[in-house]
Chain A
């Protein structure tokens, strides 16, 4: 690492952080017990990871303005789209009867509001909120 100048070092560190986040995302995807937690892990860890990687690359190419703007564009675009796709997939996954919530999932307020036949989703009224607020996790 001694051979790297400061800029390269910064760049490398940023890249490394990014890569580690992405590995964590991969690991999360590998390890997590249900779809939603896998998504929770990957969508963000990867977003974070790609952010750092893009920053690292941008530092390396700092002089090339179009490249930097393109890299920023990539980052912004991912930032904009990743949650949307996560939402879409999560919603679809939830509506898919084959998807099983992890056994440790202790509360599911969506379940009673979603009408599987009509695909309608109600909001929670005051009464329901009140009842729901009483819930506490069981100690396992």
Chain B
């Protein structure tokens, strides 16, 4: 499943790059992608499967961009005003997500949101450590992550 998707994805990128939206070109992109995936299959897909959730994806992205914009404005304010009002801290978030991909997406989303930064994942992949500029309360911070991004990522992959 996932290899196939990746293959399509690569084919699309190829056509996008070459800028020639012809069937032949797409075919070549597919073939090229197939070859690449074939060669590096073992390295790329040791296990796991891929679930397709197009609508969730769209919704998810919209949500994400909104969050991104908001928090960007917040830090912009922080930088542009002379006084610092940060309450930074590093907080461990217990994870319900299981797969590497899910955790990675979550971590990256957190990082992309200004003010927060995924520092590390524990070796047993059960805790994500996040640095945030605004931790007024550890508990509620944890909850905001869990109810925000984590929930949505979970939905995406169910």
Tell whether, in the assembled complex, residue B17 and residue A28 are in contact, meaning their CB atoms are under 8 Å apart.
no
Tell whether, in the assembled complex, residue B127 and residue A113 are in contact, meaning their CB atoms are under 8 Å apart.
yes
A124 interface neighbour in B21, B72, B127, Cβ under 8 Å = B127
B108 on interface, CB distance cutoff 8 Å: yes
| Main SS class of interface, A | helix
Chain B: number of interface residues, binned into ranges:
35 or more
Residues of A within 8 A of B21 (CB): 65
Contact flags B72-112 to A (C-beta < 8 A → 1, else 0): 10011011100010111111101000000000000111111
User: Known contacts A104-B87, A123-B94; is A86 also within 8 Å of B129 by CB?
Assistant: no
Given contacts A24-B80, A73-B16, A120-B123, 12 further A-B contacts (CB under 8 A): A33-B84, A34-B88, A40-B116, A44-B113, A45-B75, A48-B68, A87-B107, A91-B119, A101-B88, A113-B92, A123-B94, A133-B139
Interface residues of B (CB under 8 A from A): 13, 16-19, 21, 68-69, 71-72, 75-76, 78-80, 84, 86-92, 94, 107-127, 129, 131-133, 135-139, 142
Top 8 closest pairs, chain A to chain B, by CB: A66-B19, A107-B89, A83-B111, A123-B127, A69-B16, A83-B108, A123-B122, A44-B114
